[in-house]
Amino acid sequence: RGYTLTMFVRPKEPEKELWEGPRSGLEAAVAEFGADEARPVRDFARFAKKLIHNDGAVYADLDGEHGLVRSAQCGELRRVLERAEAGARVRRLTSLVQRARLVKSPAEIRLLREAGRVSGAAFVAAMRASRPGLSESTLQSTFAHAAKLALANGAADRSALTRPAYVPVFAAGEHALCMHYVLNQAPLRAGDLVLADAGAEYAAYAADITRTFPVTGRFSEPQRDLYSAVLAVQEQMVRLCHASSGYSLNEIHRSSSSALATELKQIGFHAAGRDIDYQLYPHHVAHYLGLDVHDTVDMTRSQRLKPGMVVTIEPGLYVPYDDRFPKAFRGIGIRIEDDIVVGESKADIENLSTDAPKSVDDIEACMNC
């Protein structure tokens, strides 16, 4: 292979395991995790000192960028490098790992597909539970519980493999005008919409789906018109998620802004480009998805799409109480988000979110069955 994998782990300590739970220990690092050798983590600094004297680059992440929690060993390695005046040999590991993670393997896509299925079942449960007077927090709990139940059917209970992929948004009425509203404690009101941005992890891979649905199971005419406009844009952008389109995520975003302006004009909602970009639709249409909800964050959204990338497509529209905008639409927030496997051609695109009802007819049928 050309390299040796040494893992530094906590050794077995029966006295501590009595209180803290079992540890894998050094033996399992080799037998179960494939290491060539294993050493106690307390020996890391001594081992690093010897390693630094070898030629070549040192690949490590020594900072807390992107909110990642660094272990105490990162600080020890930094001090070793400083004493050896070897800082110039350090190369960032994160960028290399993210580049490897950007295009998913078939096995990874299978896990993401299951995360989408579980999340879809949870959205169906949340939609059916919706009613005036119910709390946003109860919808959130319904979603989480249904995700567990979706993996508890059959001979094997796999519910331990799922958990919320992120802090969800369950925003009723005007709360949907806040992009990342996570208070989730207000009562649902008849006549309002609920914007639910939620997803379940499956085996550490995340789903990230958003649906907007009426509290009572029926869209009003203004809600239907506005929702249909956003949905048309969303479906147009999904159809661009293939390598032969030549598009990047940034180019898809620019297309989504233009398409939204066109769709809004058709329902008598005339908005200037600046209003769309800075107030009505102030977020990006897409991000990469995988082990993290916002996966591979160092990878530019200006690169062309490649088969096997997994991305979200999530246009939104948030109409404030402002006299510049049609009165019937004020106070309405809508976002529609799917998880998409990029294909080589349009025929190869896979939508991982199809189990969550999305069309007006499908949402109303789900909520009134």
* Res 264: pLDDT: 98
pLDDT at 91: 86
Cβ-proximal residues to 100 (8 Å cutoff; 6+ apart), any chain: none
Whether the predicted pLDDT of 69 surpasses 60 = no
Q: Please give the radius of gyration of the chain, using alpha carbons only, rounded to the nearest integer.
A: 24
Residue 278 has pLDDT above 60, yes or no: yes
- Does residue 292 surpass a pLDDT of 70? yes
Q: 177-206: string of b/e by CB count within 10 Å (b at 16+)?
A: beeebeebebebeeebbbbbbbbbbbeebb
Give the span between the Cα atoms of 74 and 360, in whole angstroms: 51
Run of H or E including 6: strand 6-9
Burial label, 107 (beta-carbon count in 10 A; 0-12, 13-18, 19+): exposed
Q: How confident is the model at residue 49 (pLDDT cuts 50, 70, 90)?
A: confident
pLDDT higher than threshold 80 for residue 322? yes
Q: What is the pLDDT of residue 321?
A: 97
Band of residue 203 on the pLDDT scale cut at 50, 70, 90: very high
**Of 93 and 139, which is predicted with more confidence?**
139
pTM for the full model? 0.93
Give the separation between CA 174 and CA 321, rounded to whole angstroms: 9
Residue 78 has what pLDDT?
Answer: 80
Residue 68 clears pLDDT 80, i.e. is over it: no
pLDDT for 65 equals: 63
- Residue 249: phi and psi, rounded to 5, are -65, -35
Position 13 scores a pLDDT of 96
Please report, rounded to a whole number, the percentage of residues in the chain having pLDDT higher than 70: 98
Using alpha carbons, select from 170, 258, 166, 182 the residue that is nearest to residue 215.
170
Q: Which of 6, 85, 98 is nearest to 288 (CA)?
A: 98
Predicted local distance difference test score (pLDDT) of residue 99: 95
* pLDDT, tens digit (0-9, with 9 covering 90-100), for 148-199: 999 998 778 999 999 999 999 999 999 999 999 999 999 999 999 999 999 9
Token pair of 307 as six digits: 């088969």
- Residue from 344, 241, 229 nearest 287 by CA: 241
Packing angle, helices 221-238 and 249-265, rounded to 10: 150
pLDDT tens for each residue of 234-257: 999 999 999 999 999 999 999 999
Say whether pLDDT at 312 is over 90. yes
Question: Residue 75's pLDDT is what?
Answer: 79
